[in-house]
Amino acid sequence: MSDVITTDAVIIGAGPCGLFAVFELGLVDVKCHVVDILDRPGGQCAELYPEKPIYDIPALPIVTGAELTSRLLEQIKPFGAEFHYNQMVTELIKHGDNDFELKTDGGLVFRSKVVVIAAGGGSFQPKKPPIPGIDSYEGTSVFYSVKKMEAFRGRDVLIVGGGDSALDWTINLQPIAKSMTLLHRRDDFRAAPDSVKKMRELVAEGKMQFRLGQVTGLKGEAGVLSAATVKGNDGATFDIATNTMLPFFGLTMKLGPVAEWGLNLHENLVPVDTAKFETSTPGVFAIGDINTYPGKLKLILSGFHEAALMAQQAFKYKNPGERLLFQYTTSSSSLQKKLGVN
């Protein structure tokens, strides 16, 4: 077991909300360590859609998940947070008021006054289609996410599914793919109407194909796909030539060790109050998609707001009895000094 790392706050999750929590806590002089199960910062933005455009971040009309992560990392540089990747927090033990011990599966041990759970919806895993032998093609011809669009340039791409991810990547990859086929079990979609409209326009222009049916088998050798066998809605079987298949059947959310930490839970989410975004355990906060409260919206924007209010209460736990003077970064010379702009 490694030496105990003592800090003011441990943030579990290095997604956008976790990163912005570093900023808000830094403004009130709460030092942080950040732990994430992934091998890099960014959370779902980095893992599931690094190049997918996001349109609802204030002042950024369009930004990719990767760029948003990069901008947040630049913003929090002045606060010197320490990051620990490829680590899952497996234990959370409360020793007393504002005295928590956290252990990871990698042998790290933390002692902190405050814990911030910013773990998104927990651990997300793709739902695999029940296709015999699909495992042997994963990572070479079958992919459950798009991390780099260029990896699909010049490929014969088959996308399977009818949700937002399936339609979004059909539209985004079509210009660089050698061929593009979208397969869905019915001519009805769970995706944004505008995305469906764009897909149908591409089909009408002869730039891609849309087929009805379900994949029942795969053909190929040594992990290299050559075709997918499909059972059509009329019962007939046919092959679609492809060397790359992207099944988008949704994600399975697993709350993981958080469920064992003695927090009140509701349908795999952590209830919080809306004044401090604190859980049922004082000193333990939950921000972002992992929390729930009346009127909750699962938006990055909402998580940023939650981080700001969380930090106000975290200051009080670090400095009991001390009054926090609320300041604006635009006018406070002390805050500007912390940010390195004065």
Does the structure show a pLDDT above 90 at 46? Answer: no
- The band of 123, judged by pLDDT with boundaries at 50, 70 and 90, is low
Mean pLDDT across 294-305: 95
pLDDT by residue (tens digit) across 237-250?
A: 999 999 999 999 97
- In angstroms, the CA 249 to CA 73 distance is 32
**Model pTM score:** 0.68
pLDDT classification of 271: cutoffs 50, 70, 90: very high
Q: Kindly indicate the confidence band of residue 282, based on its pLDDT and cuts at 50, 70 and 90.
A: very high
Q: Is the CA virtual torsion 83, 87, 89, 91 positive or negative?
A: negative
- Above 70 in pLDDT, residue 125? no
Q: Which residue has the tokens 């994600």?
A: 251
Backbone phi and psi for residue 257, each to the nearest 5 degrees, phi listed first: -60, -25
CA–CA distance, 208 with 169 (Å, rounded to integer): 13
What's the rounded Cα separation, in Å, for the pair 60 and 101?
A: 38
- How does the average pLDDT of the chain come out, rounded? 91
324-331 contacts: CB < 8 A, separation 24 or more? 324/28, 329/27
Lookup: tokens for 71:
């901008």
Contact present, 62 and 55 (Cβ < 8 Å) = yes
Q: How many CA atoms lie within 13 A of 101 on its CB side?
A: 9
The yes-or-no verdict on residue 85 having pLDDT over 80 is yes
pLDDT over 70 percentage in the chain: 95
The arithmetic mean of pLDDT across residues 174-192, rounded, is: 95
Query: What domains lie within the chain, and their CATH numbers?
Result: 4-124+252-338 (3.50.50.60), 128-249 (3.50.50.60)
Question: Mean per-residue pLDDT for 185-191?
Answer: 92
Q: Which residues contact 131 (CB under 8 A, 6 or more apart)?
A: 215, 216, 217, 218
What does the pLDDT read at residue 248?
92
